[in-house]
Amino acid sequence: MAASMRLLVRQLARLSHRKVTSTVSGVSCRSACCWRTSSGRCFSDAAEDRSTHFGFETVSEAEKAKRVYKVFENVAQKYDVMNDAMSLGIHRLWKDVLLHVMHPQPGARLLDVAGGTGDIAVRFLDYVRYQLERQKRRDTPSGQGSSWQDISDDRRRESSAVVCDINKEMLKMGKQKADRMGVVSGLSWVVGDAEELPFDDDQFDIYTIAFGIRNVTRMDQALQEALRVLKPGGRFMCLEFSKVTNPVLARLYDAYSFQVIPVLGEVIAGDWKSYQYLVESIRKFPNQQEFKGMMEDAGFYCVQHHDLTGGVVALHSGFKL
Least separation, in Å, of the C-beta of 274 and another protein?
8
Least separation, in Å, of the C-beta of 306 and another protein?
33
| Residue 32 marked ligand-binding | no
DSSP assignment of 202-253? S-EEEEEEES-GGG-S-HHHHHHHHHHHEEEEEEEEEEEE----SHHHHHHH
The CB density around residue 36, as the number of other CB atoms within 10 Å, is 13
| Residue 117 marked ligand-binding | yes
| Residue 202 marked ligand-binding | no
CB of 109 closer than 8 Å to CB of 204: yes
Least separation, in Å, of the C-beta of 258 and another protein?
9
Find the part of the chain contacting another protein (CB under 8 A) among 75-83, 157-165, 209-217, 257-265: 257-265
CA gap 198, 253 in Å, rounded: 37
Q: What amino acid occupies position 133?
A: E
The CB density around residue 256, as the number of other CB atoms within 10 Å, is 12
Least separation, in Å, of the C-beta of 220 and another protein?
24
**Rounded to the nearest 5°, which phi and psi values hold at 319?**
-120, 150
Find the part of the chain contacting another protein (CB under 8 A) among 6-14, 163-171, 226-234, 244-252: 6-14
Q: Which of residues 260-299 bind another protein (CB under 8 A)?
A: 260, 262-264, 266-268, 270, 272-273, 276-277
Candidates 4, 38, 142, 144: give the one binding another protein (CB under 8 A). 4
Residue 57 vs 96, nearer CB to another protein = 57
Taking CB under 8 A as the rule, does residue 252 contact another protein? no
Helices (H), 88-239: 90-102, 119-139, 148-156, 168-181, 219-229
Q: Number of residues interacting with another protein: please give it, by CB under 8 A.
A: 28
The residue among 82, 321, 59, 125 whose CA lies nearest residue 211 is 82
All residues at 6 or more sequence positions from 79 whose CB lies less than 8 Å from its CB, including other chains: 72, 116, 117, 170, 173
Radius of gyration of the chain from its Cα atoms, rounded to whole angstroms: 22
Binding mask 54-83 for another protein (x = CB under 8 A): --xxxxx--x---x--x-------------
Longest dimension (CA), the chain: 88
Candidates 11, 28, 152, 188: give the one binding another protein (CB under 8 A). 11
Least separation, in Å, of the C-beta of 273 and another protein?
4
CB of 234 closer than 8 Å to CB of 205: yes
| Residue 58 marked ligand-binding | no
Residue 56 vs 301, nearer CB to another protein = 56
Binding residues for S-adenosyl-L-methionine: 117, 165, 193-194
Annotated binding site: 117, 165, 193-194
- Binding positions for another protein, rule: CB under 8 A: 3-4, 7, 11, 14-15, 18, 56-60, 63, 67, 70, 259-260, 262-264, 266-268, 270, 272-273, 276-277
